[in-house]
Amino acid sequence: MLDIQFIRDNSEKVKKAAEDKGRDPKAVDELIKIDEKRRQLLQQVEILRAERNKLNKEDIKKGQEIKKELKKLEPELKEITNRYDELMLMIPNVPDKAVPAGKDENSNKEIRKWGEPAKFDFQPKDHIELGKELDLLDLDRGTKVAGFRGYFLKNEAVLMQLGLMQLALNHLILKGFKPMIPPIVVKRQPLINTGHFPWSEVDVYKTFDDEKEKDIRYLAGTAEVPLVSYHSGEVLKEKDLPILYAGFSPCYRREIGSYGKDTKGIYRIHEFMKIEQVVICKNDMKESFEWLEKLASYSEEILKMLKLPYRVMMMCSGDMGEPQIKKYDIETWMPSRKNYGETMSDSAMGEFQSRRANIKYRAKDGKIKYVHMLNNTAIASPRILIAILENYQQKDGSVRVPQVLEKYVGKKVIKHAA
């Protein structure tokens, strides 16, 4: 959420940001008008309440007049305030000036790449064929049991996925991150705090106790959701910043917004496992952008350990999401796609999430400020298994295990069962 004073002072910039991110800029104009009306009403109500508090018991007539006026104004103020709150949540963050303008992925900018895409002297197979032949993946029974996009991981693929999680977690602990296993069934507010709501509510699973939808809970699509709210409503100390969390969790996404895309295989699925990093730092954009680069480098180090070719892309304004100021996607080479596929996302949010979650810190000079927040995917599986299986496949149909995962899988090569 943006500061209302910033919105007032920079209305054209905020409207352009909304338009660039595919949102209605008219909401900014409505918000400013509603805010002006809200402040006028609030002032009137506060004056009347103050007058009422000063009245003597003898001033019955005057007290009745004030009560009557408040009875008219207070419901109006409540209605206006509710609309104000709704609109504040609908205004997206303003991209950094370095972010390229554009509507979709075609305007994203390549920052750097590492490694050479795999070249084969045989006809390579995709991860679906490899997974089936090596008894690592069962999509047919997955669909039978779970419906569209359901899957079973099997045998060495299970060991590889768990090994990837442990590898990434160990790597981040060495970088100073605190490992966390957070709750993934959450209340509504944490999804508002991260900025997933109101925009992406259609993509989130929810559960409730009865047909009246009481006691609604949501299945989070990333550990970012609970971790961002871990310190909600708190005032931290500057000396304790930055705070670094590495959350390991299952993740659940309906993927409604991506209907019809990547319908085969395990690239776009409803449930998966992930290690997500969340950084809470001082209110300083220079420091935030330094952390953005560090977070990207940690994911890159993991991909280098796996010896997987990748590239880092800066997202354009229309492809970066509403809460972000600046965002990188790290894409890994996937032979069957003849292209890179997104495997990590690295985002700087500024105050956007901390204002929603009300997370502040007391600076050394005694001032209270909102913290800055960032998040990044260290590893997500089974999507990363696509890159591993396809890049490490051999002519005889077997798949080599990346050296750093051999101790988790217990072998160097995955072969056809005898």
Residue 345 designated active-site: yes
Amino acid, single-letter form, for residue 62: K
The one-character DSSP state at 388 is H
**What's the pLDDT tens digit per position in 157-174?**
999 999 999 999 999 999
Q: Would you say 348 and 324 are in contact if contact means Cβ atoms under 8 Å apart?
A: yes
Residue 333 falls in which region: left (phi positive, over 0), alpha (psi -120 to 50) or beta: beta
Domain 4-88's class? mainly alpha
Residue 253 designated active-site: yes
Spatial distance between the Cα atoms of 275 and 171, rounded to a whole number of angstroms? 11
Q: β-strands 368-370, 326-334: how paired?
A: unpaired
Spatial distance between the Cα atoms of 318 and 334, rounded to a whole number of angstroms? 25
Of these residues, 342, 362, 398, 406, which one is catalytic?
Answer: 342
Of these residues, 23, 83, 188, 268, which one is catalytic?
Answer: 268
Taking 3-state DSSP, the helix, strand and coil percentages for the chain, each rounded to the nearest 5, stand at 45, 20, 35
**What's the pLDDT tens digit per position in 361-416?**
999 999 999 999 999 999 999 999 999 999 999 999 999 999 999 999 999 999 98
Domains of the chain by residue range:
4-88, 105-414
Quote the pLDDT of residue 255.
Answer: 74
Those residues of the chain that have pLDDT short of 70 are: 57-58, 209-213, 256-261, 418
Of these residues, 38, 253, 254, 356, which one is catalytic?
Answer: 253
How far separated are the first and last CA of the chain, in Å rounded? 58
Quote the pLDDT of residue 260.
Answer: 60
Read off the tokens for 130.
């490899």
Residue 268 designated active-site: yes
- Which residues are bridge partners to 328 per DSSP? 314, 346
Residues in the chain: 418
Quote the pLDDT of residue 208.
Answer: 76
Architecture of domain 105-414: 2-Layer Sandwich (3.30)
Quote the pLDDT of residue 65.
Answer: 87
